[in-house]
Amino acid sequence: MNDPLKPPSALGRFFGWLRRPSGMSLVSLLVIGAVAGIIFWAGFNEVLHATSTDAFCISCHELKDQPYVEYQETPHYKNRSGVRAGCADCHVPRDFVPKLIRKVEATKEVWGHFTGIISTPEKFEAMRMKMAQVEWESMKASNSRECRECHAWDAMAKAKQRPKAQRNHEKAQKEGNTCIDCHKGVAHLLPKEYEPPEEGTKDSPIIE
């Protein structure tokens, strides 16, 4: 039984303050709520942005020492036009809801970091095929959504492409293929277990 003479706890005083009628006007409360909401939203977006930078991604040595090194040797990192696709450009959706879903999914990767699943080059290579398959399946399911943020059929100057690329792109467009069906291994090394289909068939990798 509560002692009526005992001073209320800090938590009790807080809930008591919530129950008391406020001396502030409705307008004041709305303004305070709006400002608090803006501050929260700005902070939340800043966290989303900060956790999508290359610097954040390679703060884990597993990513810095292998995938990032491989990526630096590809046209996605350095090319004649000077346009660079960072980690998030390929692995984090731009739309808000898909981005949130991806961030939640990424907690498994954080768990993997702290449990040392791929903490050494040997462990990383042993898991490379499984990790690649997860990414390929995700890209396939989204119709290569992140690729299409930069690459679009109607933006291609096909006359400037090599004849082989022109044929492959025309065929892929007619058959409804998506980017990752053919362009595996364009930013990271293919797993040693990967066996490419015969050239010219669907899912045949193109590394150019």
- Can you give the pLDDT at residue 6? 63
CB 182 within 8 A of CB 200: no
Please state whether the predicted TM-score (pTM) of the whole model is above 0.95: no
Backbone φ and ψ of 15, nearest 5°: -65, -30
Query: Structure tokens of 106?
Result: 């990424």
- Can you give the pLDDT at residue 23? 61
Q: What parts of the chain have a pLDDT lower than 70?
A: 1-8, 14-25, 198-208
Q: Which spans in 58-197 are helix H?
A: 61-65, 67-71, 87-91, 96-105, 107-115, 121-141, 145-148, 163-175, 179-182
Query: Structure tokens of 74?
Result: 């590809």
**Distance of alpha carbon 194 from alpha carbon 188, whole angstroms:** 13
Query: Structure tokens of 3?
Result: 């002692």
Contacts of 132 (CB under 8 A, 6+ apart): 184, 188, 190, 191, 194
CB 111 within 8 A of CB 118: no
CB 53 within 8 A of CB 86: yes
- Can you give the pLDDT at residue 208? 44
- Can you give the pLDDT at residue 9? 78
